[in-house]
Amino acid sequence: MTEKYEIRNWSEYNAGLKQRGSLTFWISEEVIEGWLNQTLSGKRGASKDYSDIAIATFITVKAVYHQAGRQTQGLLESLFSLMGIDLPVPDHSTVSRRTASLSVTLPVIPKQGAVHLVVDSTGIKVYGEGEWKTRQHGISKRRTWRKLHLGADESTGEILAAVVTMNDCHDGEVLADILEGIDAEIAQVSADGAYDHRHCYDEIAQHGAKAVIPPRKDAKIWLHGNTNAAPHPRDQNLRYIRKHGRKKWKRDSGYHRRSLAETTMFRFKKIFGGTLCSRKFDNQAVELFIKCAALNRMIQLAKPVSCSVVR
């Protein structure tokens, strides 16, 4: 029998998708009051005219509507004029200068109980040839990207933590940073074979979570049965795989839910694209964080609830 899925909340999901494309802008009184800095910085040089929320709003609109800086400035100025809001809009050079120092908090709906965290990374291109030319003629020297490491909630799809690194950083090196960025209790961490390292298991154990990471095909037992130490989680996974097979271990351990991390990556690139606008690394990191925050807002607005149907 073939297992298929159907959406159970189609009416709400359909309405939410239409709401995503709505051009209705609503700005709260708190944002209007805090758009401009009211106090002097007390430091040398000119004081910042615009608050962090004004800069973050500018970058969010720019990312969602795939616009350049000057176009975003013109869009916000026209919106403020139509809404009768007497506020200036920061110019694109001010936004570029302020982006690196911006602090971004991912909006997450509080959840009861522990979360099942799925972890993965993807490359976001800075410059270089497209994928077609790469497949036809190979990778040239003028091609580089940044790595976006995400930790997503398996049940809601929300991004709970994000880390941006250079393209030469291994996935397992930033797992500790991802785990530290999550306030909720973690029940399970599912990741692919790139995280099959001893320190990754130790970092997951420090948070009291279960590690579901497929061992390499040539993996060896770390702690044999004649040792006095407690069985290592990786060794338990490896013994289960040797006895029942890798396919059954993936099904019984819930490892297949890790693919939802790839779904998050696909959703991210489908909405915001696979390239960066900023040229400095700090600006690139903030740009990606703001896109993650916007993606969380979209998921909270409309997310399908699908259930398996056996036919």
Distance, in Å, from the CA atom of 262 to the CA atom of 187, rounded to the nearest integer, reads 20
Question: Among 36-45, 47-56, 194-203, 223-232, which is the least confidently predicted range?
Answer: 36-45
Question: Among 90-104, 121-135, 193-207, 232-246, which is the least confidently predicted range?
Answer: 121-135
User: Could you tell me which residue, 142 or 104, shows the higher pLDDT?
Assistant: 104
Residue 179 has pLDDT above 70, yes or no: yes
Q: How far is CA 64 from the centre of its chain?
A: 15
pLDDT tens for 78-106 read 999 988 999 999 999 999 999 999 999 99
Residue 186 has pLDDT above 50, yes or no: yes
Residue 293 located in a structural domain: no
Specify whether 120 is located in the same domain as 260: yes
Structurally, how many domains does the chain consist of?
2
- Spatial contact of 37 and 51, defined as CB atoms under 8 Å apart: yes
Distance, in Å, from the CA atom of 152 to the CA atom of 178, rounded to the nearest integer, reads 10
Specify whether 80 is located in the same domain as 28: yes
Q: Which of 227, 248, 264 represents a domain boundary (last residue)?
A: 264
Indicate the burial class of 233 (C-beta count within 10 angstroms; 0-12, 13-18, 19 or more): middle
Residue 108 located in a structural domain: no
Q: Which CATH number fits the domain that encloses residue 205?
A: 3.30.420
Residue 243 has pLDDT above 80, yes or no: yes
Which pLDDT belongs to residue 130? 61
**205: CB partners within 8 A, 6+ apart:** 211, 233
Which pLDDT belongs to residue 289? 96
pLDDT bucket at 30, cuts 50 / 70 / 90: confident
Q: Which of 103, 130, 157 represents a domain boundary (last residue)?
A: 103
Specify whether 26 is located in the same domain as 71: yes
Residue 62 located in a structural domain: yes
Residue 121 located in a structural domain: yes
Q: How far is CA 87 from the centre of its chain?
A: 32
**78: CB partners within 8 A, 6+ apart:** none
Residue 311 located in a structural domain: no
Q: What's the domain range around 33?
A: 8-103
DSSP-derived letter for residue 124 is: E
Q: Which of 246, 264, 282 represents a domain boundary (last residue)?
A: 264
- β partners of residue 163: 149
Mean pLDDT of all residues in 11-27: 78
Specify whether 88 is located in the same domain as 210: no
Specify whether 158 is located in the same domain as 244: yes
Mean pLDDT of all residues in 244-251: 91
Specify whether 167 is located in the same domain as 96: no
Distance, in Å, from the CA atom of 207 to the CA atom of 209, rounded to the nearest integer, reads 5
Specify whether 172 is located in the same domain as 148: yes
Distance, in Å, from the CA atom of 196 to the CA atom of 251, rounded to the nearest integer, reads 18
Torsion of CA 227, 228, 230, 232, to 10 degrees: -20
Residue 40 has pLDDT above 60, yes or no: no
Residue 201 located in a structural domain: yes
Specify whether 166 is located in the same domain as 199: yes
Which pLDDT belongs to residue 229? 72
Residues 119-150 as b or e (16 or more Cβ within 10 Å = b):
bbbbebbbebbeeeeeeeeeeeeeeebbbbbb
pLDDT bucket at 285, cuts 50 / 70 / 90: very high
Distance, in Å, from the CA atom of 116 to the CA atom of 152, rounded to the nearest integer, reads 8
Residue 290 has pLDDT above 60, yes or no: yes
Specify whether 125 is located in the same domain as 241: yes
Specify whether 227 is located in the same domain as 88: no
Specify whether 210 is located in the same domain as 137: yes
Q: Which two tokens stand for residue 241?
A: 């795989």
Q: To the nearest whole number, what is the mean pLDDT of the chain? A: 86
Residue 125 located in a structural domain: yes
Which pLDDT belongs to residue 45? 47
Specify whether 223 is located in the same domain as 253: yes
